[in-house]
Structure 1
Amino acid sequence: MDSSRTLSPGPSDAIVLTGIGCVLPGTPDVHAFWDHVSTGTSQVTRLERPEFEAAGLPVHAAAQLGDFDTAGRLPDLSPAHAAKYNRDILATMAAVEDALKDSGLDRDRIAPERISVIQSSSRGPLSWWRDTITAPPEPDPYAGKASAMFRGLTSCPATLAAIGIGARGLVTTLSSACVGGHHAIGLALRELRAGSADVVLAGGHEFPVIPEIARCYLGLGDGVLSPEADDPASAVRPYDAGRRGFALGEGAMTLCLERESSARARGARIYARVLGHRALNEAGHATSMDLVGDVTASVVRGVLDEAGRKPEDIGYVCGHGTATRYNDIAESRALRRLLPRHDDADLPPHGSNKPVYGHTFGMAGIINVAATALMLHHQRLARTANHLSPDPECDHDHVADGPRDAEFDLAVSLSFAFGSQTSVMALERV
């Protein structure tokens, strides 16, 4: 890729996804990610963190990253620098570097000012702020030093990842609750289509597995945060009559996006074409969403219209799938509104990866788009785990019996958030 000058992309120059980097529970790379997502192999395990037990909270399952192998994942980072950073920063740096590596791009052939890093996080470095504010008996040794600024800023995972790869383009972090991952990709599309960047590393990082966050969701009532204790892997049951809510999930994930002409010129492996993104603020209820389905259906229809595609072309819908009643039924109703002449048996397959990685909030849209792209690439639909007894409102195809080979060239990723936000991403097979 010759990036010594500003490129003027043509209107037909599509955006493609060429690299995926992940630091997720039980998931060191994109190959493990696809294996877990496609088979519905849950990474939600028993929550055995002392602070939860001490707090007496009815939360027993989460998708937990565990210890981060800094030397193994970031071998070029000096121990002195690594010691100044927290897990949020280190995991994000690794995910960004791995996405670039997976893309096959030679960073020496890209002008640094043509590489951007856009990340999403709903809350930032929660553990650091909790520990700092509560002043533990043995405080963080860096708390009173300048390096504490690294650990406390939501933006530092992105900025330090950018330093790590030498990116000098737009570097920013969005915070839009659970649609933030989609928004990060949407901003990446704008940068690439405008010719402001040649490569954008769009991702998310989230580490919400702390009692304070659990209390927030428990305060919303039963059916939001799963209390499952006996079988953690089955804690999240989307679209199921026995749903009990979601489990918290943590980690970092980044996608490498570039223009298709550049990717093809260098013979890159392309996972999928990203057709477009459309976001809507419903300006309705702060914690609920349109339960009729008209709003979501209209947003899907809009993004497909812009791409010259039709709802009837959709071969798979990657749902937000939180295993909460309102989210689950709203998605199913939206599909029926989108395709009113279809019987339930004819609706496109509709699944969720939340049983695998839990709810990762600001990173959820990144995981969804990565999973959707890999399904298009492999021509295989991922299983929705733990779906045994369909909710009558959601009684259509959720790929519950196992991964399924399929021939399809169009898929849609859905994302929703508190604050009345709806987001849709459309992807196409290359």
Structure 2
Amino acid sequence: MAGRDDGRDIAVTGLGLVTPAGIGVEANWARVRAAEPTAAVDPELAGLIVDIDCRAGEFDADAELGKRLAWRLDRYAQLALVAAREAVKDSGLDPDSWNGARVGVVLGNALGGTATYERQTGNLLQEGPGAVSPMLVPMAAVNMVSGYVAMDCGATGPNLVTATACASGTTAIGTARDLLRSGTCDVVITGGTEASLSPAIVTGFARMKALSRRTGNPAAASRPFDADRDGFVIAEGAGVLVLERVADAQARGARVRARISGYGASADAHHATAPDPEGKGAERAIRAALADAGALPDEVDHVNAHGTSTPLNDVIEARVLNRVLGQRAAVTSVKGVTGHSLGAAGAIEAACTVLAVQEGLVPPTANLDSVDPSIDIDVVAKIPRMRRIEVAMSNSFGFGGQNAVLVVTEA
């Protein structure tokens, strides 16, 4: 079904990544292909219940953005801005010459500037109101990241942030796709970002027993689909894609990395934090995405799974994949490498899915030593698997029963 010409497919012409696996697409993809975990003890979490995470340790906001700009932004916006700049450059588009009114920005984020909020709350409690920064609100507000990206590149079209918990990045890409299909925009900068490695947020997840307690061996803590998994490793990062209509991209001679051919979304309407035990909501989103793409279940070659490394999620997702797709698709979860970056995860994983389709390579799931016997799907482990990928799928599921799925096809 790849390469349909009905005008509904959307071209991915640019990618940008800033994650614990590196700064830039090339560095990230190399580490994901090598299945090298990034989790480590974080001194900023010292004394907490869980003191490990996946932090983008190589990222230097002052060096990347300049001190004058960097100090005005919370880290979640800093990460997104650098990823967006890379994606726009990769697309070959020139912000100095484009019609900004036809360029939209749709980014996903779950929690906003939590690090700024926590620091300024500390200032208020310890030193009083005069110690609170006047930049608190524009730094912490969840919508500001799209605004800052628009300011940076002169995108004056529709501008919004999607907040669907850990599905936020995928929801953003699906929304961006709709803006292009409807003719509202000609270009959309889309993806997701998160930087909530702050003490209160990490402690909140730890108190929920969602995080891995393998603090003595952090590199082995995130282990999707493994029989010995015990929770996710929280992470930060940003993934940005530049999307255009296929005909527009072809007309300007752009490289089309892959196509967004389908999007599906649903709600479990079941529980605040637990997925539907039968995965009915996830299945609806998957089937909707396939129908939107005009793809059959037995055409799916590869799935970039949500694969959080939590006991409940991985089993339910695997059962749904088996029920819908059988065992033909080669499944992976990059969270063994990157950890779980919440609202950014779906965008980072969509970018990895595009790269997998483009390169014909399914990256292995890091730390997968022994597949949980209750999981009956083909999970790739140890080494990459080379295969042509005509149709791929990227899954994201979040608190509140939020489900979002993309179908990515070859260019």
Q: TM-score range by the shorter chain?
A: over 0.9
> In structure 2, which of residues 42, 47, 56 is the aligned counterpart of residue 54 of structure 1?
47
Distance in 2, Cα, partners of 1:330 & 1:242: 16
User: 8 Å contact 1:60–1:232 — kept in the other structure?
Assistant: no
TM-score (norm 2): 0.93
Deviation at 1:141, TM superposition (A): 9.2
In structure 1, what is the equivalent of residue 32 of structure 2? 37
Q: How does 1:205-284 map to 2 (within 5 A)?
A: 205-221=193-209, 224-284=210-270
Deviation at 1:271, TM superposition (A): 1.6
Distance in 2, Cα, partners of 1:67 & 1:155: 26
Number of equivalences: 406
The AA in structure 1 aligned to 2:263 is: H
In structure 2, what is the equivalent of residue 122 of structure 1? 110
Q: How does 1:99-114 map to 2 (within 5 A)?
A: 99-114=87-102
The AA in structure 1 aligned to 2:335 is: K
Residue 204 in 1 paired to residue 204 in 2?
Answer: no
Deviation at 1:138, TM superposition (A): 7.1
**Change in CA separation of 1:152 and 1:306 when aligned onto 2, cut-off 3 Å:** closer
Deviation at 1:251, TM superposition (A): 2.1
**Change in CA separation of 1:140 and 1:54 when aligned onto 2, cut-off 3 Å:** farther
Deviation at 1:19, TM superposition (A): 0.9
Residue 391 in 1 paired to residue 380 in 2?
Answer: no
User: 8 Å contact 1:113–1:169 — kept in the other structure?
Assistant: yes
In structure 1, what is the equivalent of residue 344 of structure 2? 363
In structure 2, what is the equivalent of residue 305 of structure 1? 291
Distance in 1, Cα, partners of 2:263 & 2:73: 33
Gaps in structure 2 of 5+ consecutive residues: none
Deviation at 1:231, TM superposition (A): 2.4
User: 8 Å contact 2:282–2:403 — kept in the other structure?
Assistant: yes
The AA in structure 2 aligned to 1:211 is: P
* 3-state SS in 2 of match to 1:127: helix
Distance in 2, Cα, partners of 1:67 & 1:305: 41
**Change in CA separation of 1:140 and 1:396 when aligned onto 2, cut-off 3 Å:** farther
Q: How does 1:372-383 map to 2 (within 5 A)?
A: 372-383=353-364
In structure 1, what is the equivalent of residue 177 of structure 2? 189
In structure 2, what is the equivalent of residue 418 of structure 1? 399
In structure 1, what is the equivalent of residue 308 of structure 2? 322
**Change in CA separation of 1:236 and 1:68 when aligned onto 2, cut-off 3 Å:** closer
User: 8 Å contact 1:293–1:335 — kept in the other structure?
Assistant: no
Residue 156 in 1 paired to residue 144 in 2?
Answer: yes
Instruction: Summarize deviations over 1:77-133 as a string: whole Å, max 9, x none.
Output: 5x4343333322222211111110111112233201111111111110001111111
**Change in CA separation of 1:144 and 1:34 when aligned onto 2, cut-off 3 Å:** closer
Deviation at 1:218, TM superposition (A): 2.1
In structure 2, what is the equivalent of residue 23 of structure 1? 18
In structure 1, what is the equivalent of residue 60 of structure 2? 69
User: 8 Å contact 1:169–1:197 — kept in the other structure?
Assistant: yes
Deviation at 1:169, TM superposition (A): 0.7
Residue 88 in 1 paired to residue 76 in 2?
Answer: yes
Deviation at 1:144, TM superposition (A): 4.2
Instruction: Summarize deviations over 1:138-175 as a string: whole Å, max 9, x none.
Output: 79998343x44332322222211211111101111121
Once structures 1 and 2 are overlaid, which stretch shifts more, 327-336 or 151-160?
151-160
Distance in 2, Cα, partners of 1:319 & 1:127: 29
Deviation at 1:423, TM superposition (A): 1.5
Distance in 2, Cα, partners of 1:273 & 1:292: 31
Deviation at 1:13, TM superposition (A): 4.6
Gaps in structure 1 of 5+ consecutive residues: 1-9
User: 8 Å contact 2:162–2:172 — kept in the other structure?
Assistant: yes
User: 8 Å contact 2:167–2:345 — kept in the other structure?
Assistant: yes
Once structures 1 and 2 are overlaid, which stretch shifts more, 198-207 or 208-217?
208-217
